[in-house]
Amino acid sequence: MKHNLTIALKSQSVAIERFLRVVRHRGFDLTHLQLNMDDGQYNMAMTVDSDKPIYLLTSQLNKLVDVKHVTLQNLQQQAV
Amino acid sequence: MTGAELTIDLLAKHGVDEVFGYPGGAIMPIYDALYGAPVKHYLTRHEQGAGFAAVGYARSTGRLGVCLATSGPGATNLITALADAMMDSVPLLAITGQVPTAAIGSDAFQEIDVLGMSLSCTKHSYMVERAEDLAEILQEAMHLAQSGRPGPVLVDIPKDIQMAQVPFKPWLAADEYLPKLDLNQVAIANQLLSEAKQPVAYVGGGVHAADAQNELMQFLNKTQMPAVSTLKALGSVLPDYEYDLGMLGMHGGQAANLAVQECDVLVCIGARFDDRVTGNLAKFAAKANVIHLDIDAAEVGKRKPAKASLIADLKTSLPALECVVTPKAWCDHNKQMMVKHAWRYDYPGEKVFAPYLLNQLSQRMPSTSVVCCDVGQHQMWVAQHMKFNHPCNHLSSGGAGTMGFGLPAAIGAQIARKDDFVITVSGDGSIMMNIQELATIRRNNLPVKILILDNQRLGMVRQWQELFFEGRYSETNLSDNPDFVQLAAVFGIAGQTITHANQVDDAITALLNSDGPYIVHACIDDKENVWPLVPPGAANDEMMTEKAQ
């Protein structure tokens, strides 16, 4: 199932790498990524695909120190 | 003040007075600042030894462990210790030197992208890009390593920043987001507890991380709930607790595993349903409603759904649970199972029986002793047959299962707890993985004791080859091991070899009475296996036992 996420990250140079590593390692395929630097932070729009429930990814992403927020766009798909 | 001086100064200000490491080109300014500084440095003989000594220091005290290494191979040698600390939630700070800023990206001598390597094995990591950021980064790193769910943090500092004049900026931790107890979830949990007929407390390493042993014991003493422990939790439930069923999981006791399989409410306290604990997950505690207590929201529902989730510090969440007294019939049943499946030490034959040796050692050593394991059969025998009264007295590489952990971890523990009896229990495979640290023991005259259970095999792998690979013993024969007592003697460490059961008691006496370091090399039966065993893919009530073999 595909999920759309918007994410704000601190503008640390390694933040995106760290973030994407977690996406891959936790078993989610990246199918779309848009990245902008605005107001001193990275803003990302991302689509991921996986058989796994999305909260298994968002809960891991929310732990990252560089992550300011993770928002799931299609909330109806967030089967907890 | 230079960046190097500031680094040492901040460690001291944070209460770090002992660190472990190994110098090299890119970290020389920091080593220069250490010269004569109030922070005592312990030189190990390999950076992995420094990493595990810092882990042992942290786990045996609950304090921050700190290790230092140079760039390139110095830093790569720390990686295994960082991964181990990540899996076991150990508060660790690793400081690595890096080539000068201008050389980064040029494939300079001993340049490796340490920040990139650290991403999968740290809670957080930094490379300092501007001298003026150094103070803030170091202070934040020390805070992060110890806050929330603890973990390893790495700070990579280019050599030019170590040498630059840097300002000190006091850093104040931002108001930390600590999860607040959801009172609705507390109500659901308490409703489940009030209806439970056969509840079990499943205790994990989070109790130690949260320093919540008192809260745990208050809960257990009031409820009389049967309790099972993960490898990392051993010692959290006090050994005189009437319904302590011991370790669960792949090599857990039968009473512990059967209780979990039969329970109707499973109170998971700072544990994470690790695969070595659950066996076949679909069949694990299949009849139970789970109440999950953890500070890390990502652990709740990761492997097994919870009916109630209390995401908070255990010091807060445990007292929020209602202390409903456990039905007596269930308590009595579990006591009977403990008697029925009690460990036996009446070993036929004249060889040294490792479980008996460990059980005797456990009974005779001081209750404040620290046991540091390596990984394999001996590690499981320690978990099964030794008793601990605090998790900081049992250091075992749980999540990562790192051979080579025990000896350097014992060095760190002995330095942290100078007056306590510290022993590493190792196997003939594991001990060789960081054997160079015998030199660290000698250099510092540390009274670390060493017990090697030698079956001349990679015993756990051999056991699996016997049981699951048709006896094809591929690369597990270590019968060409060195003479371990002679080897220790080269490092100035005395010891003895024992081969017979009737030598066990005297050997333990020698370990307990020796003032300095001492090694007992115990030759055990190469065919001895660890029982019971939950085979891969099986449920925890489908244990293989010695009797059934």
Alpha helices in B322-458 (DSSP H): 328-340, 354-364, 377-385, 406-416, 438-443
Span A43-53, pLDDT tens digits: 999 999 999 99
- Any CB–CB contact under 8 A between A79 and chain B? no
| Residues in chain B where the model's pLDDT stays below 70 | 174-177, 548-549
Give the pLDDT of residue B175: 62
Q: Nearest CB to B302: which of A13, A56, A62?
A: A56
Give the pLDDT of residue B179: 81
Q: Nearest CB to A21: which of B120, B301, B302?
A: B120
Give the pLDDT of residue B285: 98
Based on the residue annotation, tell me whether B360 is a catalytic residue of this protein: no
Give the pLDDT of residue B177: 66
Q: Residue B229 pairs with which residues in a beta bridge?
A: B203, B247
Give the pLDDT of residue A80: 41
Query: SS3 string of B230-258?
Result: CCCCCCCCCCCCCCEEEECCCCCCHHHHH
Share of chain A above pLDDT 70, in %: 91
Based on the residue annotation, tell me whether B109 is a catalytic residue of this protein: yes
Least Cα separation, residue B406 to chain A (angstroms): 29
What is the rounded CA–CA span in Å between residue B118 and residue B153? Answer: 9
Amino acid occupying residue B148 = G
From the list B438, B430, B420, B424, the residue with the least C-alpha distance to B494 is: B438
Residue of A nearest to B115 (CA): A14
ipTM > 0.85 for the complex: yes
CB contact under 8 A, A63 and B127: no
What is the rounded CA–CA span in Å between residue B65 and residue B154? Answer: 12
Span B355-379, pLDDT tens digits: 999 999 999 999 999 999 999 999 9
Tokens of B44: 């190990």
Tokens of B398: 């749980």
Residue with tokens 């792949």: B250
Amino acid occupying residue B79 = I
Span B415-454, pLDDT tens digits: 999 999 999 999 999 999 999 999 999 999 999 999 999 9
DSSP 8-class letter at B181 = P
Count of C-beta atoms within a 10 Å radius of residue A63: 17
Cβ contact B245:B226 at 8 Å: yes
Task: Tell how many helices (H) and how many strands (E) occur in chain A.
Answer: 2, 4
Give the pLDDT of residue B430: 98
What is the rounded CA–CA span in Å between residue B166 and residue B519? Answer: 48
Cα A16 from chain centre: 10
Cβ contact B236:B388 at 8 Å: no
Residue of B nearest to A22 (CA): B120
Give the pLDDT of residue A79: 45
Span A17-70, pLDDT tens digits: 999 999 999 999 999 999 999 989 999 999 999 999 999 999 999 999 999 999
Span B319-361, pLDDT tens digits: 999 999 999 999 999 999 999 999 999 888 899 999 999 999 9
Give the pLDDT of residue A13: 85
Count of C-beta atoms within a 10 Å radius of residue A44: 19
